[in-house]
Structure 1
Amino acid sequence: MKTLIVYIHLIAACIAIGILLIQDLALAKSLGKPLSKTAIQELSKSADVMFVALVALWVSGLTLVVIGYLDDPQQYLFNEKLWAKYTVVSILTLNGLLLHFFSFARITSPSGLLTFSAHEQILVVVTGAISSVSWLFACYLGIARNWNHNVSYEFVMTVYGAFLFIAFLVAGSVLYNLHRKDSCEFPQNFYS
């Protein structure tokens, strides 16, 4: 039974990561310009599939925790990497809500992302960076068996934070270059 649940967990993660990478690439190619109707439909379908994958990951992950606890009630819950993984997954879940209710509306706007205020543009690229890093890092934690009971929660979260920081720098650089490439001026309030 446990093997089947691990398999479901793995398949859900693979589907989510595949869609994430495909959509991130498609959005990067758009260069902040308006998306086509087809691209918007694909993004919407992808968001629906990612939601189902995330629910499957939560259900299968919590089931695996219960099984792990029942197998070894003395030690299983003392694995700090496990708690870090659930923190990262919680962050990506909350960020997913922000993506769904804030960022998607700006990305799919008929005028394109670059017409929004600087604060809105920054929030969109930050939510995108958090999403990409969180999904990839959560998957890494799923296979980092050598970290079980060997690393602290603080260590794992520091590594995660470092990847987020790098992603924020990259996202900011991409946004800055989008404005330069299109010879658009930054919105007047960009630096305020």
Structure 2
Amino acid sequence: MKTLIIYVHLIAACVAVGILLIQDLALAKTRGRALPSQAIDELQRAAKIISLALVVLWISGLMLVVIGYIDNPQEYLLNQKLWAKFTVIGILTLNGIALHHFSFPRVVSSRGILGLGNIEKTLVIFTGVVSSVSWLFACYLGIARPWNYTVDYSFVMLVYFFLLAPACIVGQTFIHSLPPSKGGGNNNRPEPPLLTDSIQLTKRISKT
């Protein structure tokens, strides 16, 4: 039973990271311009799959913790790497909520990322970087068995933030170095407000 749960846990993580990296590469190629409808549809499907994978990751992970505690009640919860992993997954979950309600509507808007103000642009890139780094680091913690019972919680989190900080700098430097958007990628029609784009996106998701 435990082996099956571990297998499901790993599959969920692999699927999420694979799709995430593909979407990150696709978004990077657009260089912040407005996305075509096909790319928006693909992004919607990817977001649903990654959200489902995160739910599976939580459920299977909690089941593994229960099994581990039953097998070794005196020492299992003393593994500080375990608590660091839960912290990273917690950050990933909260960041996912921010992505869904703040960043995603702006990425798929007719303005594109380059059409956003500097603060909005910075926050969108920040949530995207946190998502990528957190998924990759959480997967690493899943296989970092030499860290079990040997490293402190603070050490693991310090490594996480040392990876996150330069990734944020690279992401922000890249997006802010691009020339400002002219017409949001479509010069033939006026730009609709972001609220209208968000409402239209919500209706499209509800129909799928």
Moved more, 170-179 or 127-136: 170-179
Which residue is equivalent to 1:96?
96
Matched, 1:171 2:171: yes
Q: Once the two structures are aligned, what percentage of the paired residues are identical?
A: 59
Deviation at 1:113, TM superposition (A): 1.0
Which residue is equivalent to 1:38?
38
Counterpart secondary structure, 1:48: helix
Structure 1 residues 106-145: aligned runs within 5 Å: 106-145=106-145
Which residue is equivalent to 1:27?
27
How many Å separate the matches in 2 of 1:12 and 1:111?
33
**Cα shift readout 1:48-78 (whole Å, capped 9, x = no counterpart):** 0011100000000000000000000000000
Structure 1 residues 5-16: aligned runs within 5 Å: 5-16=5-16
**Cα shift readout 1:106-157 (whole Å, capped 9, x = no counterpart):** 1001121111110000000000110000000000000000000000000000
Deviation at 1:173, TM superposition (A): 1.2
**Cα shift readout 1:153-179 (whole Å, capped 9, x = no counterpart):** 000000001011011111111112223
AA partner of residue 78 (structure 1): L
Counterpart secondary structure, 2:32: coil
How many Å separate the matches in 1 of 2:136 and 2:68?
23
Structure 1 residues 149-168: aligned runs within 5 Å: 149-168=149-168
How many Å separate the matches in 1 of 2:113 and 2:172?
14
TM-score (norm 2): 0.86
How many Å separate the matches in 1 of 2:176 and 2:25?
18
TM-score (norm 1): 0.93
Structure 1 gaps of 5+ residues are: 184-192
Counterpart secondary structure, 2:110: coil
AA partner of residue 100 (structure 1): H
How many Å separate the matches in 2 of 1:179 and 1:90?
35
Counterpart secondary structure, 1:179: coil
Structure 2 gaps of 5+ residues are: 183-208
Moved more, 108-117 or 149-158: 108-117
AA partner of residue 17 (structure 1): V
Which residue is equivalent to 2:146?
146
How many Å separate the matches in 2 of 1:4 and 1:153?
28
How many Å separate the matches in 2 of 1:125 and 1:31?
12
Runs of 4+ in 1 over 3 A off after TM superposition: none
Counterpart secondary structure, 1:33: coil
Deviation at 1:98, TM superposition (A): 0.3
